[in-house]
Structure 1
Amino acid sequence: MAQSKLRSAILVISDTASRDSSTDKVGSVLADTFATEGEKWNTPAIKIVPDEKASIQRQICLWADSEDEYMNVIVTAGGTGFAVRDETPEGAKENLEAVIKLLPHACIQAAGANSRSIHAGGVQRLEEEAGVGGGHGHGHHHCRTHGHSHEHNHEHTHGHSHGCPKPHTSNDPSVGASRRHRASPYPMVSVDEALKLIYDHTPEPTVVEMPVGILLVGSVLAEDVYAKEAVPAYRASIVDGYAVIAPPSASEQSTKGQFPVASVSHAQAISMPPPLESGTIARITTGAPLPPNANAVVMVEDTALISTTPDGNEEAVVEILTEDVKPGENVREPGSDVSLGSKILQKGQLITAIGGEIGLLASTGTRTVTVFKKPRVGVMSTGDELVEHTNPIALTGGQIRDSNRPSLISCLTTWGYPTVDLGIAQDTSNDLEHRLRDSLRDGTDIIITTGGVSMGELDLLKPTIERKLGGTIHFGRVSMKPGKPTTFATIPFKPTSSTTPAAQSARQTRLIFSLPGNPASALVTLNLFVLPSLHKSIGLASPSTSPTSSARPGLGLGLPLVHVTLTHSIRADPKRTEYHRAIVTCAEDDGRLLATSTGTSGVGQRSSRVGSLAGANALLVLETGREPVFEKGEVVKALLMGQIVGQ
């Protein structure tokens, strides 16, 4: 008796393919996979639906519950990205007996609930792995595994170009605390190595046009700027005084003597003064236009009043007391400050809060400029124990106030970056995942989290990034104090706010900096690691200074480096480079920069001691490879976080 064949169905979820089925390349490829096992499977039913939860559920219900159309297996393709309309896992899981988490070989590409981590390379990569769109149908696909030696870092699979799951380094939260890592699986990297990885994975800046105004401060110009107007646009007086007609040479008639005041020229936009006739003068204010024919201005200090008009309100005759007046004296010629069409600012120049750049742009009639877009930075704290600092309740049990979010947002705002408060996430993988996804969908470019990156059973950020978001952790430990558990990761993301289908389908990279939960560690690592990434993202070129070296790209961005003299001895960590919080002042006698620790004894520099950063304006770089005691009077490196004040 012949064995009955199993029934299969393929559900393609795609807005584009639902409108035009000819654009679908996936259904036929998956059908061919079933055909290779023809003795076991009927020809699969193929349906294409838009990326809408109701449509997905309706079709799955039909296949899962109907006696006539009951299917033994349903394969879905598409709708598993980060976009708001990527609804496949959500729409499918309510209707199936089991959502298959992971199948070997080709089915891994349709592993509903976990497929976002598999789809990190985008549709193009998935099509290539499935054999779609040209090439040989039975080629070999090479899966690289970074943990193997160079000679054996290719795993070969044969047949239908099967995809390979990405290995995870983080704990699997589902196995329980007893099976978690007892030692960190992440290799310890140096600060320089961490900075290099951050630089390499920070996306190149994008260009936007912005109006000239306060919001431009902190931006970097994306192209040279040329003067649209000359400054001044007319012949203007530099001083308050009297416009005169100065002789071309001293041998001719002198300007000394008494002259009638023929007119008055103020700095106003109403009209130009009348032409000046020989033998007369015109009273003029600073910045006012010279009357036609006038070629010099005599300062009011070099004159004397002789007589007034009958009503006593105006000057009638004024005596000029000096005869050494030359043509052009105290006169600003048109374009003498800024000539029309001249380059006034260059690409890569920072618009500072001092106001010089804004003033120059405004004075030349520049209304908009192209700059590198500032990234939108989201800040999130994690931990069941955290309470909002604004919550008036009395703390109980193990509760603590969340100080990290307010301090980090304050620092980022001072630097001039737009921030988003992402709140406090609970110590559950689902809450972390939902908050991170929501922030990405809302347009956050860089996410900063604090807490949840150490070795505890509730430290869930690393597994959430890897296993739920399909992210790549580039480093998870840094040889430094404080800040050892600092983690840096990237997440592939497909935006839906773009205006073109091509832009919507293109994967972008989002950055996650997972900083330690201790307050001092969080602020130190924000300054040390996040700031250089922000600088690259807005197009700042590397300056000549660097925390440790300027030989490699990325290490010259961030805090400025100076050398300071210790006012007392400091015992540093003998094994890890220590970033010691300190107050740097300028000596009144010789101008040296002097550094005083914010705390050296007992718990003074403990990573949980937020008070060690109160008043601090520098991080002393106390490197290893020497005696751990840095003596009074010794000169060390320091990274400046704030302004230097006098003693």
Structure 2
Amino acid sequence: MPIEGSVLRAWCDSEPSQADLILTTGGTGFGVRDLTPEAVSPMLHRMAPGITTAMLASSLTITPMAALSRPVAGVRFNTIIITLPGSTKGAVENLTAVVSVIPHAVELARGGNKAGEETHEAMARAASSSHTKPAKGGHVCHHRSDVPLDLAAEISAFGLSGDLKAPVHSRNRKSPYPLVDFDQALDLVLNHAEPLRPRVVSVSEKLVSHVLAEAVTARDPVPGYRASVVDGYAVIVSDGPGVYPVANVQNAGGAASHSQAHPELKSKTIGRVTTGAMIPVGTEAVIMVEDTELVSSDSASGEELLVKILVQAKMGENIREVGCDAAVGEVVLDKGCVIGAAGGEVGILASVGVTEVLVNPHPTVAIVSSGNELVHFSTPSPLQPPFVRDTNYPSLSTAIQDSMPGCKIVNFESPAQDTEESLYELLNRALESDADVLISTGGVSMGEADMMKSVLEQRLGAKIWFGRVLMKPGKPSTFATVEKMRLDGTIHKKLVFALPGNPVSALVGFYLFTLPALRKLAGFERPSLPKVFAKLAHDIHLDSRPEFYRARVVTTSDHNIKQTLFVAHGTGSQMSSRMLSMRGANALLKLPPANEAKGVLLEGEMVEAWLIGEL
């Protein structure tokens, strides 16, 4: 909708003004209807080129398309007006680039003598609050309704993560990140995981678990010649049962050389053939050896001379015609087909003469751990307090290789220290690598050293889509995206999964969020974990939060209903720090939260089991 200049003037020109800050969205591009700059510029008393320069400079680090934006900013009387792009992503990025100076600008526009001092104090206090104080009369901002997780709310000078430089006593006591339902969080992850650009790869065993990006057609027919289905004798149907001489068709019993001419079967003769062998020209059927009798043979060479055919042959009996399995040009594997580990798909490709296929590549994954207490997982015993081995790296890399064997893992085994610079340096190295996905563990909770979200947001320009999930374990699980420009000028959107440091929380978060994203990037049409309904083998006390309960699901037969059932056995104590709760687990039971009506699931009740391993 076009900007109404009269409306903006009314907001700015009243005494006192109805707004200190007006933000508009949309109409700043090159489209024929993009007239916001033309509507806003004439009403500004003073232009603010520094604000527009900051917005453009920030956006150009993300996408070259920012060069096509025409933002305008300035002051009318005591009101600041800033025009933002129409897209949610662009609007938030532009506002984030200048939000830290807006409080200062508002004070100056009001005419306050201590504007700078007051604003700097306010910015320091912003670290202890998830929202800035609303401007006089409430700011006027045309927020779009599709901004995720209500991030269209007032934004502090440092985003939701809080000021990295703020002293400990002034930091947030409660997380400012909205508590997101699990299903909503998973939807956000999958919506941002777009299949990687397809590439051509050679047909080999390395294709396992890759997804075809286009249908594959046969280049050669299968079989490529008329072949016998059984061991027996090539016959002419009209000859019927009887005793016949065995013709010399020796190359019909095996693979003929390129120099051999194809033999021809004459009437009133038969030819000995073997299973899969090319049959003589003129053959109309093949009679199984079991339906014949030997009449005579050459005593010297052992060759058959006369054989009796006992049954009447049918036209085409026991013959595989050329291309009966796959004709040239026939689709043998559909787009979206997953190449299985059993070898069938690879065998099909080889049989029809296909040597290269177009597939969605598996993503490259970087793994980063953080924590002063961490040492390499190979550190020998005894381990001195307060150090602990970094078990997250080997467990996550193992889970990736088992679930997605084609993934490349970028080695970042040395943990980051709990300092802003150490964390930034390691995360930045990981994001500057060729990784499509970054998995970090630790630093996402509310402790003094938990700076992961702040570093991602403030130092690395990450967009945090959720910072807390209503689930157990893994409540502080965080998902973000970072955009990097490739050498060819295209944007590489990298997915960041900042998982808790507790080993179980990290591994559960991987299976619930990261693995579906990896599968989506690799082109899987159904990227989420497979699910079955299982019967509880024992009672389970419910938690106040929805819980993913580690379990071993086995199959059993119910003879009364003649049906195979799934039965779930818990793995003991479910503490998020107890790695032993993952021992033998092949499923995560999705349990509801406790309520006044129900606090225990009883033995025999059915629950949803999300499979993370083989049954």
| TM-score (ref. length: structure 2) | 0.75
Q: Are the equivalent residues in 1 in contact too, given 2:244–2:306 (CA < 8 A)?
A: yes
TM-fit CA distance, 1:194:
0.3
Is this contact kept in 2: 1:262–1:276, CA < 8 A?
A: no
Q: What per-residue deviation string (whole Å, max 9, x for no partner) do you get for residues 128-175 of structure 1?
A: 46779xxxxx984246679699x846399xxxxxxx997421133322
Equivalent in the alignment of 1:266: 253
CA RMSD between the two structures: 3.0
In the alignment, what sits opposite 2:499?
Answer: 515
Give the secondary structure class of the aligned counterpart of 1:301. Answer: helix
The separation in 2 between residues aligned to 1:457 and 1:447, in whole angstroms, is: 23
The answer for the alignment partner of 1:47 in structure 2 is none
Aligned residue for 1:241? 232
Q: Percent identity?
A: 39
Q: Map 1:99-110 onto structure 2 (within 5 A).
A: 105=51, 108=54
| CA distance in structure 2 between the aligned counterparts of 1:342 and 1:105, rounded to whole angstroms | 60
CA-to-partner distance for each residue in 1:32-75, whole Å, 9 max, x for gaps?
xxxx99xxxxxxxxxxxxxxxxxxxxxxxxxxxxxxxxxxxxxx
Task: Indicate whether 1:288 and 2:277 are aligned.
Answer: yes
Q: Does 1:418 align with 2:408?
A: yes
Question: Which deviates further from its counterpart, 387-396 or 467-476?
Answer: 387-396
Moved more, 459-468 or 238-247: 238-247
Match of residue 154 from structure 1: 141
| Distance (Å, rounded) in 2 between the aligned partners of 1:267 and 1:513 | 58
Q: Which moved more, 1:419-428 or 1:626-635?
A: 419-428
Q: Tell me, what secondary structure is at the counterpart of 2:335?
A: coil
Which of residues 553, 572, 575 in structure 2 aligns to 1:584?
Answer: 553
Q: Which amino acid aligns with 2:66?
A: R
Deviation of 1:223 after TM superposition, in Å, equals 1.6
**CA distance change for structure 1 residues 269 and 422 in 2, over 3 Å: closer, same or farther?**
farther
Q: How far apart, CA to CA, are the structure 2 residues paired with 1:274 and 1:166?
A: 87
What residue is the counterpart of 1:594 in the other structure? 567
Counterpart residue number, 1:473: 464
Question: 1:642 is matched with which residue?
Answer: 613
Secondary structure, in 3 states, of the residue corresponding to 1:311? coil
| Pick aligned residue for 1:526 from 510, 529, 534 | 510
Alignment correspondent of 1:606: 575
Cα distance change on mapping 1:104 and 1:610 into 2, 3 Å: farther
Write the mapping of 1:385-400 to structure 2, written as runs, cut at 5 A. Answer: 385-392=373-380, 394-400=382-388
Q: CA deviation at 1:296?
A: 1.3
In structure 2, the CA distance between the partners of 1:420 and 1:569, relative to structure 1 (3 Å rule), is: same
The answer to whether the 8 Å contact 1:272/1:291 transfers is no
Residues 311, 442 of structure 1: CA spacing in aligned structure 2 closer, same or farther, 3 A cutoff? farther
In structure 2, C-alpha distance between the alignment counterparts of 1:178 and 1:493, rounded to whole Å: 35
1:52 is aligned to none
Q: CA shift at 1:372, angstroms? A: 1.8
1:493 to 478, 484, 493: 484
Q: 1:332 to 1:155 in 2, by over 3 A?
A: closer
- How big is the shift at 1:514? 0.7
What is the identity, as a one-letter code, of the residue corresponding to 2:181? S
SS of the residue 1:642 aligns to: coil
Deviations 1:471-525 (A, max 9, x none): 11110100001110100001121123xxxxxx23x33311100111111111111
Distance 1:269 1:380 in 2: 59
* Mapping 1:2-401, distance limit 5 Å: 105=51, 108=54, 121-125=62-66, 128=69, 140-142=82-84, 152=139, 154=141, 167-247=158-238, 253-264=239-250, 265-270=252-257, 271=260, 273-320=262-309, 322-392=310-380, 394-401=382-389
CA distance in 2 between partners of 1:476 and 1:598 (Å): 28
**Paired residue type of 1:484:** K
Q: Distance in 1 between matches of 2:518 and 2:176?
A: 28
Residue correspondence of structure 1 range 394-409 to structure 2 within 5 A: 394-409=382-397
Structure 1: tracts of 5 or more residues without a match: 1-35, 38-102, 133-137, 157-163, 248-252, 497-502, 543-556
Residues in 2 aligned to 1:287 and 1:366: alpha-carbon distance in whole angstroms: 21
Deviates more, 1:472-481 or 1:213-222: 213-222
| CA contact 2:226–2:321 (8 Å) conserved in 1 | yes
Contact 2:210–2:361 (CA<8 Å) still a contact in 1?
yes
Please give the per-residue CA displacement for 1:288-337, whole angstroms capped at 9, x wherever unaligned.
111101121122222333333343443333333x2132121111011111
Q: Does the 8 Å contact 2:52/2:72 carry over to 1? A: no
CA gap 1:272/1:286 in 2 versus in 1, 3 angstroms: farther
SS in 1 for 2:179: coil
> Would the alpha carbon gap of residues 281 and 515 (structure 1) be closer, same or farther in structure 2, given more than 3 Å must change?
same
Say whether the 8 Å CA contact 1:566–1:634 is kept in structure 2. yes
Map Cα deviations across residues 572-592 of structure 1 (whole Å, 9 max, x no partner). Answer: 21x211100111111134311
Secondary structure of 2:165's match? Answer: helix
- Give distance in 2, aligned partners of 1:282 and 1:530: 62
Partners in 2 of 1:272 and 1:236 — Cα distance? 16
Q: Is the 8 A contact 1:261 1:318 kept in 2?
A: no
1:139 to 1:635, Cα distance in 2 relative to 1, 3 A: closer
Q: Match of 1:588, SS?
A: strand
Mark the CA change 1:122 to 1:323 in structure 2 (over 3 Å): closer, same or farther. Answer: closer
Higher mean alpha-carbon deviation, 260-269 vs 382-391, is at 260-269
What secondary structure is seen at the aligned counterpart in 2 of 1:377? strand
What amino acid sits opposite 2:249 in the alignment? S
Per-residue CA deviations over 1:512-553 (Å, capped at 9, x if unaligned) read: 0011111111111111111221222122224xxxxxxxxxxx
What's 1:46 paired with? none
> Using the alignment, how far apart are the partners of 2:386 and 2:557 within structure 1?
47
Kept in 2, the 8 Å contact 1:490–1:509? The answer is yes
Question: Offset of 1:418 from its aligned partner?
Answer: 2.3
Unaligned runs of 5+ in 2: 1-44, 74-79, 85-90, 97-130, 144-154
Aligned to 1:558: 528
Contact 1:108 1:165 (8 Å CA) reproduced: no
> Helix, strand or coil: the match of 1:199?
helix
What CA distance in whole angstroms lies between the structure 1 residues aligned with 2:368 and 2:445? 16
Select which of 585, 590, 598 maps to 1:621. 590
Letter in 2 for 1:438: R
Amino acid at match of 1:420: V
- In structure 1, C-alpha distance between the alignment counterparts of 2:83 and 2:442, rounded to whole Å: 39
Q: How far 1:231 moved relative to its partner?
A: 0.9
Q: How far apart in 2 are the matches of 1:515 and 1:452?
A: 8
Structure 2 SS opposite 1:351:
coil
Contact 1:449 1:513 in 2 (8 A): yes
Q: CA deviation at 1:396?
A: 0.5
SS of alignment partner, residue 345 of structure 2: helix
1:531-546 aligned at under 5 Å gives the runs 531-542=515-526
- Rounded Cα–Cα distance in structure 1 between residues aligned with 2:557 and 2:546: 31
